[in-house]
Structure 1
């Protein structure tokens, strides 16, 4: 059936695409055969070509199978910042027909205990500075082996420019824990891997959700679900093997994993790695290596282009900025377009959908919009209570189905029952995001299902207020939360990071007056607080839920803040 958004579909591409039946490892094998001497990874002053990456992946897979006892379907934990070893370990696990369990590098031992217990992983890869967090699990028998890598092992002999930080340049030391094996010791075993058997239908990834509604849940992804998303992204955006991709979004998260690792390997392209966000180093690398594609959350891009000396760098090769997770502020999107001629290609996806699900058409972008359902994706807006479909323009829960949607949660049938339901004879996934679809078939996220402020019966969507606040000339970053109010039930509070030049001249009451002139009175913040910084996740998202929970104390009346 012709959908409204099909009028703006990328020319020359079908509404649905043939899905690969091969494994993700096959993509590395193919790129290494096509471009053996081409740079696959740039890491400070080190360049690894595709032949070397494949050789080390195969060697590590042989070690996993012959020395660590990893069998098809076994889960293997991966705990690291972005580095060549992350990519090699990830693909070695796939080459061994096993399942990657990527975890946040900031995970505490308590969180790691849950990941290990829930996934059943008995073998782990860990960066040297993180391996000590796993030592207790080796001692109590939950882990049998930890393969420990050192970032500096993949640095060249020179100091490099930009020079790596001390924690990257730290020398290798012997693993502290019993059961710890050094990376090069594992590679030195040089055991040939068994024949690769995995195909599209086989489980290959078990990423964990953030756990905002309870304990983190593992998402069962196959080679096929990941391939559907990454191939869809490549075709939709017209990317080729000549792309140079900035890899700074954390690869333990689906945004970085898919866009900065699996996508360039599929293409046979080059990724320029940065282990942690550093805007000064990022601009140097983008200029020096002529980066053409960069996927990042909006908060990272806002910070990048706020650098005072940004105009002194040659960013002329940067052709595509893309990302999601939060709306790109209108004022920043306008600046990118007007000053640099770059359209921020906003997309939408979740851990449960392998990242890429919706995207704006490249030649018909709508700002503040997650775009349209991509190849083979069917997305609806339903009433969260009745699960019946709503007409265009009405706000409800976004539900979806497509080849990239996970099979379900790991060993959690109760969570599956909450997340999936049948509509018109098909199985849909409940995203937990509230949104609407317009007359053109474009979708807009208004907020998370549980992130609504109820002020005297009026519904306020924080994202809408935040977007307006970004237009204030003094505002650098904004987060809007609901706080208790004796009269209204809840009232709107804005936590703002001001631009440096505005910190001495901007008052809270000025921002409140400015807001009331630009939005309905019930939406405008009645409380404004200036803060030095807003807490963010490792992927650059503002932790609104943390601020929301901290704000659940009785609001104190303040002069000038009443209606």
Structure 2
């Protein structure tokens, strides 16, 4: 067991932490019993109590079961942050099924993969994303959709700026296989006895690698419970705390820190559908927010607001996140403004959020942190696969209660993702890093080709796979390009079937129509040829290495 970091371990916290041997839904059930009148969610100044939340979860769970959803079935959850996401998430679990959270920026062609891969028949979606779901209903690949209008949960007067999706009026779908949210909740169905336990399938967040198609990470109630509980204790949160939720719930960091952790402890979530820095600052001041987990670009955006000194942020007790290294100058500004250090952490979809977090009393800048409760992490040589010592660079591998059991229906990729060290199984993260003499971990590079654009993970092979659907494209190679705001952005190097068949602007517009906005290449370079190795393989690394020196 790696224990070099114990000297930096937070005071009064145990190295090992026992976890509840129950389903994740049980956390909500218990909090609703303990704090029935406490706001579980405050959504643009409208509260939803724990009792109301649990009642609506049970009503929707009963409806799902009436539609044939059974234990172990998968249900798509395709929406932005809203009370309906929380209700839908826990209703799926209450129905003994598993949540398939899907990025709401995805288009129909991308959504189709999730439907086919999981055999899901029902999709709970936001009203603004129904247009992407309807073609799958038309083709019969989905049997039913439940369509939610976020604005139905803003019933109190508010001076906050509302996103367009929240301002929108409820629109009828005009079809029997796409019911409105209110119709599902008011159908009068009650769920059966809750049967799911810690080893049942809970959530299937999707990740990608070099194969192009996103793949599901199999997480049980036990693994999801782990990081939710770890998050609460590591951050010293209490039931009296209030969390600002700005990270998307479909992503594991937002899901765990902004939803599941507060519900476990019985705290209040102040929820935003879309990021807007002054709305966030107002909410921190208005509701005396104690905890805000974000991505670095959000913190930078808020702190760069020339009006930030006009807001009272003194209630904050901890602020942190990840997605990119926090620049020292911004970290210093945060400390001068709030007296708080930005606490960086590290995790993946495969670990349902954090495996490493900086200690609050002894954080290090631009550092992943130290392994948290019961996590054993090592560094291995990428070729010899032998363990390395302090300050030696290699691949980060990890073992812990939050590590997934494998990739959904991909046994070969699952086998390749793990390595045995001394009789213990470790997940190969694909990230290159090292740990220092005190056991703090740092990242230096990535084995995988992932592009990190403002915290959004873009997998080049997936974008390439989508671009090959364009009739004019013969070859495509996607790499990262420096971006002063996002850190890095997507660039596509393209060879056409014939010269002049399509322009870069036409290809970019086609990409906007066929993939999520954050995946769309900001730069498209049309070339006659792309570099290849002697064996004929496309040399993406050569293009990548050329790109950064040229752009800098």
Question: TM-score, length-normalised on structure 2?
Answer: 0.83
Bigger mean CA deviation after superposition, 85-94 or 207-216: 207-216
**Deviation of 1:40 (Å):** 0.6
Counterpart Cα distance in 2 of 1:229 and 1:556: 37
**Cα pair 1:132 1:176 within 8 Å, conserved:** no
Tell me, what secondary structure is at the counterpart of 2:207? coil
1:83 maps to what in 2?
82
Counterpart Cα distance in 1 of 2:307 and 2:95: 47
Tell me, what secondary structure is at the counterpart of 2:292? strand
Unaligned runs of 5+ in 1: 453-461, 467-491, 499-540
Counterpart Cα distance in 2 of 1:356 and 1:385: 26
Counterpart Cα distance in 2 of 1:375 and 1:157: 41
1:344 maps to what in 2?
342
**Cα pair 2:291 2:316 within 8 Å, conserved:** yes
**Cα pair 1:372 1:441 within 8 Å, conserved:** yes
Counterpart Cα distance in 1 of 2:20 and 2:136: 38
Counterpart Cα distance in 2 of 1:300 and 1:558: 27
1:110 maps to what in 2?
109
**Cα pair 2:242 2:270 within 8 Å, conserved:** yes
Count of aligned pairs between the two proteins:
485
Cα distance change on mapping 1:408 and 1:549 into 2, 3 Å? farther
**Deviation of 1:545 (Å):** 9.4
Cα distance change on mapping 1:112 and 1:416 into 2, 3 Å? same
2:363 maps to what in 1?
365
Counterpart Cα distance in 1 of 2:548 and 2:260: 52
**Deviation of 1:237 (Å):** 1.6
Counterpart Cα distance in 1 of 2:328 and 2:357: 17
Counterpart pick for 2:428 among 427, 430, 435: 430
Counterpart Cα distance in 1 of 2:186 and 2:94: 18
**Deviation of 1:212 (Å):** 5.9
1:388 pairs with 2:386: yes
Bigger mean CA deviation after superposition, 26-35 or 138-147: 138-147
Query: How far does the alpha carbon of each residue in 1:131-177 deviate from its partner, in whole angstroms, 9 at most, with x for none?
Result: 1211111122111110111111111153x111313321111111245
2:52 maps to what in 1?
52
1:311-326 correspondence runs (5 A): 311-326=309-324
1:237 maps to what in 2?
235
1:33 maps to what in 2?
33
Bigger mean CA deviation after superposition, 10-19 or 194-203: 10-19
Cα distance change on mapping 1:250 and 1:117 into 2, 3 Å? same
1:302 maps to what in 2?
300
Unaligned runs of 5+ in 2: 454-479, 487-516, 527-539
Counterpart Cα distance in 2 of 1:107 and 1:65: 27
Structure 1: 4+ residue segments shifted above 6 A:
541-551, 553-561
Tell me, what secondary structure is at the counterpart of 1:388? coil
2:12 maps to what in 1?
12
Counterpart Cα distance in 1 of 2:440 and 2:159: 44
**Deviation of 1:276 (Å):** 1.0
Which structure has the higher relative contact order (CA within 8 Å, separation 6+)?
2
**Cα pair 2:249 2:255 within 8 Å, conserved:** yes
**Cα pair 2:320 2:342 within 8 Å, conserved:** yes
Query: How far does the alpha carbon of each residue in 1:450-503 deviate from its partner, in whole angstroms, 9 at most, with x for none?
Result: 469xxxxxxxxx99xx9xxxxxxxxxxxxxxxxxxxxxxxxx9854359xxxxx
2:264 maps to what in 1?
266
1:69 maps to what in 2?
68
Question: TM-score, length-normalised on structure 1?
Answer: 0.81
**Cα pair 2:137 2:144 within 8 Å, conserved:** yes
**Cα pair 1:5 1:372 within 8 Å, conserved:** yes
